[in-house]
Chains A and B, each alone.
Chain A
Amino acid sequence: MSQLLYGLITGILFGFFLQRGKVLRYDQQIGALRLMDMTILKFMLTAIFVGAIGIYLLYDLGAAKLSIKPTILGATVVGGLLFGIGWGVLGYCPGTSIGAIGEGRWDGVWGVLGMLAGAALYAEAYPLMKKSLLIWGDLGKITLPGVLNVNHWLIIPVFILLGVGMFIFFEKKNL
Chain B
Amino acid sequence: MEKKRDKDYWSPYIAGAFAGLVLVLSVWITGKYFGASTSFVRSAGLIEKAFDAERVGQTEYFVETTPKIDWQWMFVAGVFFGALIAAKASGTFKVQAVPGMWQAKFGSNIAPRAIVAFLGGTVAMFGARLADG
Known contacts A20-B86, A90-B117, A122-B61; decide if A14 and B19 are in contact (CB<8 Å): yes
**In the complex, number of A-B residue pairs with CB atoms less than 8 Å apart:** 389
C-alpha spacing A85/B47, complex, angstroms: 26
Choose among B32, B47, B82 the residue that contacts A18 (Cβ–Cβ < 8 A): B82
Interface size class of B (residues with CB under 8 A): 35 or more
Residue of chain B at shortest CB distance from A58: B28
C-alpha spacing A107/B120, complex, angstroms: 12
**Do B71 and A7 have beta carbons less than 8 Å apart?**
yes
- Chain A residues near B124 (CB-CB < 8 A): 82-83, 85-87, 89-90, 93-94, 111, 114-115, 118
| Residues of B near any A CB (own CB < 8 A) | 1, 3, 6, 9-10, 12-24, 26-34, 36-37, 39-41, 43-45, 47-48, 59-62, 69-87, 90, 92-102, 110, 113-133
Residue of chain B at shortest CB distance from A94: B36
**A47-70 interface (Cβ within 8 A of B):** 47-51, 54-55, 58, 63-65, 67, 69-70
**Do A75 and B132 have beta carbons less than 8 Å apart?**
yes
B108 to chain A, nearest CB (A): 11
B27 to chain A, nearest CB (A): 5
C-alpha spacing A129/B47, complex, angstroms: 23
Choose among B24, B120, B123, B131 the residue that contacts A80 (Cβ–Cβ < 8 A): B131
- Chain B residues near A4 (CB-CB < 8 A): 69-71, 74
A153 to chain B, nearest CB (A): 16
Known contacts A26-B101, A118-B121; decide if A16 and B86 are in contact (CB<8 Å): yes
Question: Contact mask A105-144 → B, CB, 8 Å, 1/0?
Answer: 1110011111111111111111101000110000000000
Known contacts A7-B32, A86-B124; decide if A102 and B113 are in contact (CB<8 Å): no
C-alpha spacing A31/B80, complex, angstroms: 22
C-alpha spacing A70/B60, complex, angstroms: 20
**Do A123 and B45 have beta carbons less than 8 Å apart?**
yes
**Do B16 and A7 have beta carbons less than 8 Å apart?**
no
